Chains A and B, each alone.
Chain A
């Protein structure tokens, strides 16, 4: 079964600074990878997904992620963080009939 690891539980970043969230997955034939964001008290919103093609994926809200098969990684990046990006971020991999989620990374944005 495929699984996901998010090594960072919590990240604090200054507004305007760059952000990178790490995600590592266990190897599968063709991983379908996703990043979701959850604002406080809200549901999950899809930021971006990868299942084939270009390994650099553009998403909503200025986020992008790069799939690196050699490193089994799918890290999420944003060049300049806004205060509204404070949220919890989940990496997930499709696993036969369900999404397998990482434990999540909480992002705090300081002024």
Chain B
């Protein structure tokens, strides 16, 4: 198992550019989520999905779109990048939304918006 994979590892964007952060998992997990990590703030949830075709907003969804067409993939789209979106982005997955489930995290994507 590769677990949770994310691409790219690092990206530099100019303000106003768009891009898609890729996330894939090979564990047949139903629940997938995107977090952003900023210094002194821990990780905050952007969007999540409880299965193919089902997505919902987290704490900080503005400026981001998601879709879930397959169980395996959960891409995060930035439509018009802003400097405030400079962050480290983590994708996570688990079997379900049950509280005791372990969330498995990908290695992260570092994004710099100039």
Contacts and interface: CB of A to CB of B under 8 A. Distances in A.
Interface string A76-96: 000000000000001010100
A1 to B, nearest CB: 10
Contact of A44 (B40, B56, B90, B97): B90
A37 to B, nearest CB: 11
B102 interface: yes
**Interface extent on A, as a size class?**
20 to 34
B41 interface: yes
Interface in A91-111: 92, 94, 97-99, 101-104
B105 A103 contact: no
Contacts of B58: 98
Given A98-B58, A103-B41, A43 B100 contact: no
Interface stretch (B42-50, B62-70, B76-84): B42-50
A70 interface: no
Contacts of A97: 48, 50, 56, 97
Contacts, number: 55
A71 interface: no
A90 B42 contact: yes
Interface of B: 4, 33, 35, 40-45, 48, 50, 56, 58-59, 90, 92, 97, 99-100, 102-108
25 contacts: A4-B42, A32-B99, A36-B105, A42-B108, A43-B105, A44-B90, A46-B104, A49-B100, A51-B100, A90-B42, A90-B43, A94-B99, A94-B100, A97-B48, A97-B50, A98-B33, A98-B45, A98-B58, A99-B35, A99-B43, A99-B92, A99-B103, A101-B42, A103-B40, A103-B42
